[in-house]
Structure formats: C-alpha cells, structure tokens
Amino acid sequence: AYFALQVIYARRKYKISPPETTGHPEFERIFRAQANCSEYFPIFVSLLWVSGIFFHQGVAAACGLLYLYTRFKYFQGYAVAAQGRLGPLYASAQLLWLLMGLAVAGLLAHFLLP
C-alpha cells in the first residue's frame, strides 16, 4: 500500500493523470519501482507461505521481514536514481532464493521422511 500511495503522490506532484505512465523522470522511477515490487509480491508470498508451513515459521518470518525491508530500500533507492536500486535488488533476490531453499527443504522433509 505504501508503494501505491507513493505513485499517487507522485502523480499529483507532477500532474500526471491515469492511465499515463510517462512524464517526469522521478515519476517514472517511482512508478516502475512500484510495478517491480508488485510483480515480485506473488512469488514472495508463495515462498513465504510454503516455507513457513513446511520448514519453520520463525525462520520464514525473519526472512520475510528482511525481504520487505530490502524491497523498501529498493523502492527508496530507485526513486532517487536507477542505480540506487541495485544493492537492495540483489539482497532481495538472495532472500527469495533462501526462501525457495527453505521451502524445498521443508517439502522434501515432509514428503520423504517418515
């Protein structure tokens, strides 16, 4: 919701009415950052859910909080400059891979161990 509100504020600030998605470069970066975060959210929620159920709730929750923080930093960095997104982008990708590993380990343990 925070990211969507930032797009609304940027639309007002730069006078860009929907459905336009181009205009001031800062608006375009904010809009793209919000769209990127929205695109990854279903993957994140799915991995968080599976790893929390089949591996460990606490570990999954900690990874989930770190992921949300890195996406927040990604958004802030991208809003300032396109290069500002890279560090948090790599960190959030690593957390997604970690959640994937936890989910796979949990599923394997659940279905293969007696």
Query: Which residues are known catalytic residues?
Result: 12, 85
Mean pLDDT of 85-99: 97
Among 70, 73, 7, 64, which Cα is nearest to 35's? 7
Q: How many domains does the chain have?
A: 1
Question: Is 7 a member of any domain?
Answer: yes
Question: Is 24 a member of any domain?
Answer: no
The answer, yes or no, to whether residue 114 has pLDDT greater than 90, is no
Residue numbers of the domain that contains 103: 1-15+30-112
Mean pLDDT of 3-32: 95
Token pair of 74, please? 């990604």
Question: Is 56 a member of any domain?
Answer: yes
Question: Is 49 a member of any domain?
Answer: yes
Question: Is 62 a member of any domain?
Answer: yes
Question: Is 73 a member of any domain?
Answer: yes
Distance CA 113, CA 110 (A): 6
Residues 24-78: tens digit of each pLDDT? 999 999 999 999 999 999 999 999 999 999 999 999 999 999 999 999 999 999 9
Question: Is 71 a member of any domain?
Answer: yes
| Residue 48 pLDDT | 98
With a threshold of 0.85, does the pTM exceed it? yes
